[in-house]
Amino acid sequence: MGENVPEIVQEAVLKRTATTSLLKEIVHGYNWDNGLDFNKLLDSYKYSGFQSTNFGLAVEEINKMIVCRNQPLIKDNYQDDDDQSNKINNNCTIFLGYTSNIVSSGLRETIKFLVKNKMIDCIVTTAGVSKKIL
């Protein structure tokens, strides 16, 4: 690296490129010529670029939760028959976490759909204050 560049700058900014497992993947998008298949569309995000790769990895984790949730329930030692809120309904408890501004966006209908169709078990959100724009 540069001889006149202070060492602290070299350590913080002038990093050497590191090899990652993501370099082995070929970047490509969804093939729209085959029509619209939502599962394949979501799967394709893993290979569409840096941020979409992270989205694609999140989709994979969600799919794992859905598979786990659909497996037969194993008889658990803990059952509280007196309190239905403690009843174990499936093998995977799905939490949905988001910041409060998501509710004021178009995603509130998606959250409503997930709750209405019992696709999530618990919501974790921040408290926010919306300001009225004059």
Q: Could you read off the pLDDT of 19-28 as tens digits, one per residue?
A: 666 556 677 7
Is residue 83 domain-shared with residue 101, that is, in the same domain?
no
Which residue did the predictor score with more confidence, 69 or 52?
Answer: 69
Is residue 85 domain-shared with residue 56, that is, in the same domain?
yes
Which residue did the predictor score with more confidence, 14 or 98?
Answer: 98
Is residue 5 domain-shared with residue 29, that is, in the same domain?
yes
Is residue 72 domain-shared with residue 97, that is, in the same domain?
no
Give the DSSP H/E element, type plus range, for residue 89. none
The dihedral through the CA atoms of 31, 35, 40, 46 has a sign that is: positive
Report the number of distinct structural domains present in the chain.
2
Is residue 15 domain-shared with residue 73, that is, in the same domain?
yes
Is residue 60 domain-shared with residue 82, that is, in the same domain?
yes
The dihedral through the CA atoms of 20, 95, 124, 79 has a sign that is: negative
Task: Note if the pTM is more than 0.85.
Answer: no
Is residue 75 domain-shared with residue 107, that is, in the same domain?
no
Domain that holds residue 50: 1-91
pLDDT score for 123 = 92
